[in-house]
Amino acid sequence: MALKDIIGQQKAIGMLVGAMQRNRVANAYLFAGESGIGKKTAAVNFAKALNCLTNAAADGVLPSGDHAAHQAVIELSHDACDACESCRKIDSGTHPDVLFISPEDRQVRIDEIRKIDEALSFRPFEGSQKIVIVDNAEAMNISAANAFLKTLEEPPPDSVIILVSSKPDYLPDTIRSRCSTITFVSLSLSSCKKIIAEKVAEENLELVARLSMGNPGAAIVRDMLEEREWFLKLLKSMLKAEKDSWASREEMERWCELILILLRDIAVVKITGEPSRLINIDQLDYILELGNSHDVSVIIYCYMEIDTIRRSLHYNRNKSLTWNYIASLLRKELGLWHA
């Protein structure tokens, strides 16, 4: 894979290729956007493009005169060839000049930042650039962030640091302001379908692409249909006043995301009357039934309440209190809801 193969992120990729063309690659980037939309893939392929051995060779042989040939070489010389030793090593995670850091136990600790400093303290070994990719960079704890700030303030030459984050707001301003931010966008339904087509059975493609909400990566690593069934089962047990059934904070987060999608669907079909706009496109009857006797404002109120809860989950909210609160909210505001 190369930068040109990344689907639906033309603007972000265009900025990266443009920086390479103008020889203005920044020392630090923040790749920001929802999870599962290609940020990490872009970071890896940017690292490949910067260190590609075929590029380096092509750079020296720009033909003159023929504009089209010139352009073709320029394009080739600012992307990964995907075949040279450097590209292959980066893909397999064995390139000595490319370091990947990702959080352990939801935290990037100061030890990891020390690894970055150590890696950057040497000149590139095989490639032309030392590259550090920090995945889920928002998981840096305070001491890691402070140490990292020093690295960003005095970036070593021939080095590029790429922070990848789906929650860039959680990063300190001091770090964000020292990075060039490249924003990745959620993908269109058709781009999602294109990306997941190989992984998902044809008959489920439409529904799974919709459930992925523009983040095809999620549909590749998780079974969206199984997850949605799990959500509906828990919703029913919640409305029957059963005890909380979330096994972890991750499950709480995901369940809240899915109830928000369902509430969004109920509101959308009430407002527009167009079932084609649904995410849960296979649940039209249930959605019509749920929304039947309620005003849109009540549904929006429930949505906003649960969204506030979802946003505060990282403060370690109590699981069963949260469960009971959402249950009573849904039963009180949307009284007709029952299993």
Question: By the criterion CB under 5 A, which residues form the site for Zn ion?
Answer: 52, 54, 81, 84, 87
> Which residues lie closer than 8 Å to 12 by C-beta, 6 or more apart?
31, 42, 182, 183, 184, 185
In whole angstroms, how far apart are CA 136 and each of 2, 94, 108, 132, 333? Answer: 22, 21, 8, 13, 37
DSSP states of 119-166? HHTSPPSSSSSEEEEETTGGGB-HHHHHHHHHHHHSPPTTEEEEEEES
Nearest approach, Cβ of residue 81 and Zn ion (Å): 3
Nearer of residues 95 and 210 to Zn ion, judged by Cβ? 95
**In whole angstroms, what is the distance from residue 93 CA to residue 247 CA?**
33
Q: How far is the CB of 21 from Zn ion (least distance, A)?
A: 17
Q: Rounded to the nearest whole angstrom, what is the least distance from the CB of residue 125 to Zn ion in the complex? A: 16
Q: Which residue's CB is nearer to Zn ion, number 51 or number 165? A: 51
In angstroms, rounded to a whole number, what is the distance separating the alpha carbons of residues 172 and 338?
A: 44
Q: Which is nearer to Zn ion, 91 or 257 (CB)?
A: 91
Q: How far is the CB of 13 from Zn ion (least distance, A)?
A: 17
Minimum separation from the CB atom of position 86 to Zn ion (A): 5
Instruction: Using the minimum distance from each CB to Zn ion, give the nearer residue, 52 or 195.
Output: 52
Q: Which residue has the tokens 């370091």?
A: 99
Least gap, CB of 127 to Zn ion (angstroms): 10
CB within 8 Å of 295: residues ≥ 6 apart: none
Asked if 90 and 98 touch (Cβ cutoff 8 Å), the reply is yes
CB closer to Zn ion out of 89 and 254: 89
Q: How near is the Cβ of 46 to Zn ion at its closest, in Å?
A: 13
Q: Cβ closer to Zn ion: 84 or 101?
A: 84
User: Minimum Å distance from CB 2 to Zn ion?
Assistant: 8
Helices (H), the chain: 10-21, 39-51, 53-59, 67-76, 85-91, 110-120, 142-153, 173-176, 189-196, 205-211, 216-221, 224-239, 249-272, 284-291, 296-311, 319-333
Which CB atom, from 52 or from 137, has the smaller least distance to Zn ion?
52
For Zn ion, the closer CB: 87 or 208: 87
Q: How many CB atoms lie within 10 A of CB 250?
A: 11
Distance CA 125, CA 95 (A): 9
